[in-house]
Amino acid sequence: MAQVTVTIDGKTYRMACDEGQEEHLIDLAERFDRYVGHLKDSFGEIGDQRITVMAGIMVMDELSELQKRVRGMESEIVTLRKTRDDALVKADKNDAALTGALTRLAERLEGLAGKLGSG
């Protein structure tokens, strides 16, 4: 188990993480620290715990919005796949270009959904 030290709101915290995840944890802490800093700039000193809770809620709100976007894209993928599958059933050799375009579009949307789901 690896150990890293992160700084949030000027305070250092020693944290454990899986081997190879050190940079990721440091990046997450830096991003969270920016939320805390933004709130402090906006509201001033209203208490460390309150600022931390507010920053956590902001992060969760952002996560919730991204999850909604992913669900919307997943729904679009289902629609595109159905459209593609319907086109394949009716397609003949002249429809190959349209089918290929729909397939590429579905793959691009899947890639975008994957990126949003992991970030």
Which residue is it, tokens 């919307």? 72
CA atoms within 13 A on the CB side of 33: 14
pLDDT of 119 reads 58
Q: What is the pLDDT of residue 46?
A: 87
The per-residue pLDDT for 111 is: 86
Model-level pTM greater than 0.85?
no
How many C-beta atoms surround the C-beta of residue 84 within 10 A? Answer: 19
Provide the 3-class DSSP secondary structure of residue 45.
coil
Distance in angstroms (rounded) separating the CA atoms of residues 94 and 100? 11
Residue 62 sits in the same domain as residue 106: yes
85 close to 106: Cβ distance less than 8 angstroms:
no
Q: Report how far residue 21's alpha carbon sits from residue 24's, in angstroms, rounded to the nearest whole number.
A: 5
Task: Give the bridge partners for 3, in sequence order.
Answer: 16
pLDDT value of residue 100: 78
* Alpha-carbon torsion (101, 105, 107, 108), positive or negative: positive
pLDDT for the residue numbered 93: 56
Judge if 62 and 117 occupy the same domain.
yes
Asked if residue 71 is part of any domain, the answer here is yes
| Residues 67 and 111 both lie in one domain | yes
What does pLDDT average to in each consecutive run of 10 residues of the chain (119 residues)? 95 96 96 93 88 93 96 95 82 67 87 77
Structure tokens at 51: 């600022």
Check whether residue 62 and residue 42 sit in a common domain: no
Provide the pLDDT for residue 62.
Answer: 94
**Which residues form the domain of 66?**
58-119
Residues 6 or more apart whose CB falls under 8 angstroms from that of 66 comprise 116, 119
Q: What is the largest CA-CA distance in the chain?
A: 68
